[in-house]
Structure 1
Amino acid sequence: MELEKFDSVYFVGIGGIGMSAIARWFKQRGKSVGGYDRVKTPLTSELEQEGIWVHYEDKLKDVPAEYRDKDNVLIVYTPAIPSSHEELKFFQKKKFNVLKRSEVLGLISKDHYCVAVGGTHGKTTTSSMVAHILKHSEKGCSAFIGGIMTNYNSNLIIGEKDAPVVVEADEFDRSFHRLSPNHAIVTSVDPDHLDIYGDEEQMKEAFGKFLQLVPEEGHTLIHYKAAEKVNMYLENLYYTYGIDQGDYQAKALRGISGVFYFNYHGKRTIKDLSLYVPGFHNVENAVAAITAAIELGVPSETIKDAIASYKGVKRRFEYILRQDNLIYIDDYAHHPTEIKAFLRSVKSMYPMKKITAIFQPHLYSRTQDFYQGFAESLDQADQVFMLDIYPAREQPVPGVTSQMILDQMYTGDRKLVAKEDIIEELSNTNLDVLVTIGAGDIDQLVPVIGNHFKEAAS
């Protein structure tokens, strides 16, 4: 299918972070772009300000005629949209050109040199690092990122028509099997989305199939721990990376005042790199991104400058407040391994301070599968306020609640708190380091909490 032949593109679920990036890409290419989403958010408001039409009720009669012209409109939808959605049902029944988001991304990747970053966690930060380095260089790139890059205040970078494309390889719904990667990175392979895969082995096999998409002349890079899980499915040569581990390494790592300094060792050696986004996992992400940039011929000094100027992704170890009496950090972590890595980094940076965590579980299925892992990870905090499960696309599962996690924890200071009561709880709590963790709508609490403490300090 030729994407250029369509005059208009309509997105069912336009407010998703991945969907909105593709919507912006089409808009910048001169297409008429519109769509539906369930609720108005800061992101959908930004889309509207950019000239993209968005509405918030599933009513076909509200959709303008230009998006109901079967021959000239492309319909893009996300699997997060239920099959009962009236607009989507209409477009499918009337045999419009209807594609999943992953299929559109696959078509885009097919026409460019593609760097695809997969993994159950780490893919957003790593792909944004690759994009930032390439943007910083003469190569340039287009990039579709699953988060808002702080350097650009966007989830999209638009490069020249022949520039490389950087994409996230999303394992949900096996979306990454539709990509055409020349350079593939896998950051992690931990059990997740078992509602889709059934068991961990099928998920590992799916990652193997993704890596098999890389041509023999391409480049495959896998975190050394992930490689142990998928190497039986790999056919072509691959390389590994890590901190003091693998074919490509960060060495001489030291953290000083929240900045991580390290040397990169691989086909080249780059000394005294400085990364201002904290976290051991982010150093590993940087190793993967640097390796991709070297494969694309980016000079060492350019890479060094780009890593030093990289500011991260919104909601990935994002500092909200740095006051004398309170540090507040927000993170998107929603899998036990992510939470463990995040809290480990926080504890290493503030070893003598009390850490208070607010966590919102994401999905009933994920909570049911990993409640013990969540409990073990959250036990690293000194105090935990647990919110109710954010359902996203799911219906409630009988007996599956946030209390399942609390019941498995050892941390004595823990309790279930309603979102509307969280400010009162925090006001009556002695805080040193506060962290909010989760992928649901906990992000809406972040500015409320931040403003509360800013006003209290003024």
Structure 2
Amino acid sequence: MTETPTVRELPEVLRRPHLIGIGGAGMSGIARILLARGARVSGSDAKDSRAFLTLRAQGARIEVGQRAENLDVFDDAPSAIVVSTAIKESNPELAAARERDIPVLHRAEALAALMEGHRVACIAGTHGKTSTTSMLTVALQHCRLDPSFAIGGDLNESGANAHHGEGGIFVAEADESDGSFLSYTPSVAVVTNVEPDHLDHHGTAEAYHQVFTEFVRRIDPDGVLVVCVDDPAAADLATFADGIGLRVRRYGRAATGDGDAHVVDYRPSEDGGVVRVVLGGEELEVRVAVPGEHMAFNAVGALLAGLELGADPTALAEGLAAFGGVRRRFEYKGRSADVRVYDDYAHHPTEVEAQLRAVRQAAGSGRVVVVFQPHLYSRTKAFASEFGEALGLADEVVVLDVYGAREDPEPGVTGELVASRVRGANVHYEPAFDRVVPLVADLVKPGDLVVTMGAGDVTQLGPEVLAELDRRDH
């Protein structure tokens, strides 16, 4: 097994950090690791969060509402302010930090500092990075390697999105949305796929692809790129990596070289699926307890990354079989009136299509009812037709209005752009959020499978649908 380096002490700049937006998925994970490593952490957010309870129990000082005086909840000034791209310069805490010459770090820079002294594995890609990062983490834990990790979602096994481990390995989801993953220097990097997205930041598809090229350049020269070559743009990255002398391990049906993981078969099952892989001249079966061929391919990417980190292949496969999923990735919410309800984070057309194909398998003879909330005006405008085509895989489609998140509304860009392009399914455009639950309850029949889908507050609706079905059933 590969020896792991000794973990260095907490960097000076992060010994008394203040995190603006501490309740977010990425920031709360960084806070968890900082607290576990002895930092005195303060932070704030615009509204309360379920993450606060755990962070406060670990010693964090957290304020709801953002004010300049929040920087001084301890006796001394912060050693640094940690922000995400979403934090604007007009934020009162950030403005106060600038006036006081307190160092300001992007969250990716803070995470990169916490990675120092570890062997780092970063998982990138337009789709699948959260699931692949989670699979790798759970598999390494099964191998008793105790990795540190930072993930954009909560593991079902532990309920946590981050952890400070003692194994000298750091596994992180690498976010390309704002290019901040260029802060990392991984020794093992996985790229699941590359499809244009986040064009509100990158501007063009070419610029989006280029940032992945730059990410490959960031890999340690003695490291390795693990890449799914069934995706054309990801395959191009593998060719580029070959050209600069970087070691590459490919996976997928098109991966047939030495050291590659050649996928020869995938079989869905009631509790997930089984993927057969030829690796090093030997055939290996990997069981995955979450549905969908795309999830099985993610597991193969995680398998190769785990091997590069020195884990035993048999133990890795057992760990992958034990993986129970990630919150908001086809997460089971409950059952009522013989209707099953799930929730999923899919918010890009390719993700929606892949997940609905998996949902169709899970539904069996029942109908698929999807409640879809478009995320971002820019993404809705750019991909309305592709969303419509993907949603046509369902039987009944309820489209909500756009969840704008960080963007201002754009005239003419509404959920109706998507709804009007759905073909092959019954479609209902319902812009009034409070009317969605009774509409869905009217639509469903016994045996149906309902999935709420999107990156916004659509996630709230699953439990409400179940409660309404319970009420009508009694």
TM-score norm. by structure 2 comes to 0.90
What are the equivalent positions in structure 2 for 1:321-340 lying under 5 Å apart?
A: 321-322=334-335, 325-340=338-353
Quote how far apart the aligned CAs of 1:419 are: 1.7
Contact 2:276 2:286 survives alignment (8 Å): yes
370-379 vs 249-258, which moves further = 249-258
- Identity of matched residues, %: 33
Q: How does 1:58-207 map to 2 (within 5 A)?
A: 58-66=66-74, 69-70=76-77, 72-160=78-166, 163-207=168-212
Structure 1 match to 2:359: 346
| Aligned match of 1:280 | 293
Task: Give the 3-state SS of the residue equivalent to 2:264 in structure 1.
Answer: strand
Confirm or deny: 8 A CA contact 2:140 2:147 kept in the other structure: yes
Specify the SS of the correspondent of 2:225: strand
CA distance in 2: counterparts of 1:453 and 1:43, whole angstroms: 30
Structure 2 vs 1, CA of residues 55 and 268 (structure 1 numbering), >3 Å: closer, same or farther? farther
Contact 1:423 1:449 in 2 (8 A): yes
Among 405, 419, 429, which residue is 2:433 paired with?
A: 419
Q: Determine whether 1:429 maps to 2:434.
A: no
Moved more, 273-282 or 114-123: 273-282
1:442 corresponds to which residue?
458
Q: Which residue of 2 aligns with 1:228?
A: 235
CA positional deviation for 1:258: 3.0
Alpha-carbon deviation of 1:85? 1.0
Given the superposition, is the C-alpha separation of residues 447 and 412 from structure 1 closer, same or farther in structure 2, using an over 3 Å criterion? closer
Q: 1:50 to 1:455 in 2, by over 3 A?
A: farther
Asked if structure 2 preserves the Cα contact closer than 8 Å seen for 1:205 and 1:233, the reply is no
Residue 245 of structure 1, CA deviation: 4.4
Maintained 8 Å contact 2:10/2:114: no
The reply on whether 1:266 has 2:276 as its aligned counterpart is: no
Seen in structure 2, the aligned counterparts of structure 1 residues 243 and 312 have a Cα distance that, compared at 3 Å, is farther
Match of 1:29 in 2: 37
| Ranges in structure 1 where 5+ consecutive residues have no aligned partner | none
Deviation at 1:129, TM superposition (A): 0.9
Q: 1:312 to 1:28 in 2, by over 3 A?
A: same
Residues 96 and 264 (structure 1 numbering): CA distance in 2 closer, same or farther, change over 3 Å?
A: same
Flag as ranges the 4+ runs of structure 1 deviating above 6 A.
Answer: none
Which of 262-271 and 408-417 deviates more?
Answer: 262-271
Question: 1:216 is paired with a residue of what secondary structure?
Answer: coil
Separation in 1, partners of 2:442, 2:361:
26
Shift of 1:56: 2.2
Asked if structure 1 preserves the Cα contact closer than 8 Å seen for 2:336 and 2:470, the reply is no
Supply the AA of the counterpart residue of 1:97.
Answer: P
Conservation of the 8 A alpha-carbon contact between 2:372 and 2:397: yes
| Contact 1:109/1:165 (8 A) holds in 2 | yes
Q: 2:288 & 2:73 partners in 1: Cα distance? A: 50
Task: Kindly indicate whether the alpha-carbon contact (under 8 Å) linking 2:394 and 2:425 is maintained by their aligned counterparts in 1.
Answer: no
Inter-CA distance 452–28: structure 2 relative to 1 (3 Å threshold): farther
**How far apart, in 2, do the equivalents of 1:55 and 1:268 lie?**
56
Secondary structure (helix, strand or coil) at the match of 2:439 reads helix
* Cα distance in 2 between the residues matched to 1:170 and 1:261: 28
* Letter paired with 1:356: V
Classify 1:111/1:380 alpha carbon distance in 2 versus 1 (closer, same or farther; 3 Å).
same
Shift of the 5–348 alpha-carbon distance from structure 1 to 2, 3 Å rule, reads: closer
Aligned mate of 1:51, from 59, 63, 71: 59
Aligned length: 455
SS where residue 26 of structure 1 aligns?
A: helix
Instruction: Tell me which residue corresponds to 1:367.
Output: 380
RMSD: 2.2
1:194-219 deviation digits (Å, cap 9, x = unpaired) = 11111111111110110111123211
Q: Residue type matched to 1:59 in 2?
A: R
Match of 1:239 in 2: 249
Cα distance 1:350–1:220, how it changes in 2: closer, same or farther (>3 A)? same
Shift of 1:237: 3.5
Give the distance between the partners of 2:384 and 2:282, measured in 1 at CA. 42
Deviation at 1:322, TM superposition (A): 4.8
Asked if the contact 2:43–2:70 (Cα under 8 Å) also holds between the matched residues in 1, the reply is no
Give me the whole-angstrom Cα distance separating, in 2, the residues matched to 1:237 and 1:62: 47
User: Cα gap change, 1:385/1:12 in structure 2, threshold over 3 Å: closer, same or farther?
Assistant: same
- For residues 384-432 of structure 1, give each alpha carbon's deviation from its aligned partner in whole angstroms, at most 9, with x where no partner exists: 1111111111111122111111122224521222221122112212331
Contact 1:143 1:165 in 2 (8 A): yes
- 2:17 is matched with which residue? 9
The one-character-per-residue Cα deviations of 1:346-377 (angstroms, maximum 9, x if unpaired) are 12333532111101111111111111111111
SS at match of 1:212: helix
Deviations 1:283-316 (A, max 9, x none): 0000001111112221223112211211010111
Is 2:189–2:219's contact at 8 Å kept on the other side of the alignment? yes
Q: Which amino acid aligns with 1:267?
A: G
Tell me the equivalent position of 1:293. Answer: 306
* Residue aligned with 2:208, SS: helix
Give the letter aligned to residue 160 of structure 2. S
Instruction: Name which of 16, 22, 28 aligns with 1:20.
Output: 28
- Secondary structure, counterpart of 2:153 in structure 1: strand
Alpha-carbon displacement from aligned partner over 1:54-94 (angstroms, at most 9, x marks no partner):
22222223544427x44x52210111122221111111232
Distance 1:277 1:66, change over 3 A: same
